[in-house]
Amino acid sequence: MKYRFATEAIHAAYNPDEHNRAIMPPVYQNSMFTMKEIGEQIPFRYARLANPTRKVLEDTAAVLENGAAGFAFASGMAGIDCVFRTFLRPGDTVIAVSDIYGGSYDLLVDVYAAWGVNVVFADLTDPANLDKALAEHENVKLVWLETPSNPLLRLVDIAALAAKAKAAGALVGIDNTFATPYLQQPLDMGCDIVFHSATKYLCGHSDVLMGIVVAKTPELAKPLHTMMVNTGAVAGPADCSLVLRGIKTLALRMERHCANALDIARRLEAHPAVEKVFYPGLPSHEHHDLARWQMAKGCGGVVTVYLKNDSREAANSVIKNMKLVRMASSLGGVESLVNHCYTQSHSGVPPEVKAELGIRVGLLRFSVGIEDIEDIWADISAALDTTL
């Protein structure tokens, strides 16, 4: 029987009766498992191939994303790399959303384009641009989406794009890090592969680096599994245990992240130091109508702003004057954070591409945590005042 999301997040894929009645999945801190005789068939032999703690997490992720199988990696980038390496060869084309996480951009340009893959970035906020890209390029094997995007929270229409890519014979993968399966389940909208930097909301407590990939079908899972075990960037059991713990509170945390972020976004819109606020839950957001049905439960915990004073000094003044909201290179934890994308998450993106994407020097990306909203706002608003 399949339960509702919040219940599955706590109970999916784990049966205490199979683990000495232990209420939490034990950490199998083992590199290997013993065999009694030559050729004995045992479920776990060597931890790179499979580990019981990792398996609970991988199966839990598959349940939450409505997929066939999950795979846990030592970092988000290792997970994305496994997807690209499995399905792309020199001469193939990958079409990726132009508004993409900086590390994914770097991986595509520095590694895959250099390897001979035709890497095409397209503004897929208009689905017609996918038709154009598909018509202009041959051997399109993969369409890579990210929505909401990092850092400008642009949305793409997952179902419309997946249908177009499928009609052209391409696979569709999606980075679902910002939304989490609580807010958005892309495999149900036509995607083939869903990816998470589990470092962010799935873990939720800023103490693990991890990537999770979920395949929709066993046919897609098979080559991904082969690539994962052959290349070996698997997640360790202690990290898997921490992410399993994080997932148990995912529904609760996301509700609070969404509520706090929407409130902060509204208050930021009214602050005189802010030129523009990017949050899909605001009616002013360019993709608000799409957000209302594609992200009906909420729009996540990330809010991005353009400061009126578009300078490094102003951005630095906000960062330096906040006491609660600290500057860090990640997001998705219980604590509120700020990121200066120009010099942090998107530092590797060339200046002209940053300009095209709207990543200004006076752009700040807030990861709104689950603290008391009044404390978060008092900290941010006082720091913004210093730029007036």
Interface contacts to ligand PLP, rule CB under 6 A: 75-77, 101, 103-104, 150, 175, 177, 197, 199, 209, 211, 330
Pick 336 or 387: Cβ nearer ligand PLP: 336
Q: Residue 190 — left, alpha, or beta (φ > 0 → left; ψ -120 to 50 → alpha)?
A: left
Pick 100 or 117: Cβ nearer ligand PLP: 100
From residue 141, alpha-carbon distances to 24, 74, 176, 217, 346 in Å are 40, 25, 20, 17, 26
Least distance from ligand PLP to the Cβ atom of residue 99, Å: 11
Least distance from ligand PLP to the Cβ atom of residue 110, Å: 15
- Is residue 200 annotated as a catalytic residue, yes or no? yes
Pick 196 or 225: Cβ nearer ligand PLP: 196
Q: Which two tokens stand for residue 85?
A: 């390496």
CB 73 within 8 Å of CB 80: no
Query: Considering 45, 48, 166, 267, which one is annotated as catalytic?
Result: 48
Least distance from ligand PLP to the Cβ atom of residue 211, Å: 6
Least distance from ligand PLP to the Cβ atom of residue 147, Å: 10
Q: Which two tokens stand for residue 21?
A: 């009645």
- Which residue, judged by CB position, is nearest to ligand PLP in the bound state? 76
Query: Considering 81, 99, 157, 175, which one is annotated as catalytic?
Result: 175
Helix axes 218-231, 76-87, angle to 10 degrees: 120
Least distance from ligand PLP to the Cβ atom of residue 337, Å: 12
| Interacting residues of 290 by C-beta distance below 8 A, sequence separation 6+ | 155, 157, 280
Pick 304 or 317: Cβ nearer ligand PLP: 304
Query: Considering 101, 112, 182, 342, which one is annotated as catalytic?
Result: 101
CB 144 within 8 Å of CB 95: yes
**Residue 114 CB-half CA count within 13 A:** 7
| Interacting residues of 91 by C-beta distance below 8 A, sequence separation 6+ | 116, 117, 118, 139
Query: Considering 54, 55, 85, 200, which one is annotated as catalytic?
Result: 200
Pick 76 or 300: Cβ nearer ligand PLP: 76
Q: Which two tokens stand for residue 302?
A: 């990330």
CB 194 within 8 Å of CB 65: yes
The alpha-helical segments, DSSP class H, found in 111-157 are 128-136
Whole-angstrom distance, CA of residue 196 vs CA of residue 203 = 10
End-to-end CA distance of the chain: give it in Å, rounded. Answer: 57
- Is residue 101 annotated as a catalytic residue, yes or no? yes
Pick 150 or 241: Cβ nearer ligand PLP: 150
- Is residue 175 annotated as a catalytic residue, yes or no? yes
State the catalytic residues: 48, 101, 175, 200
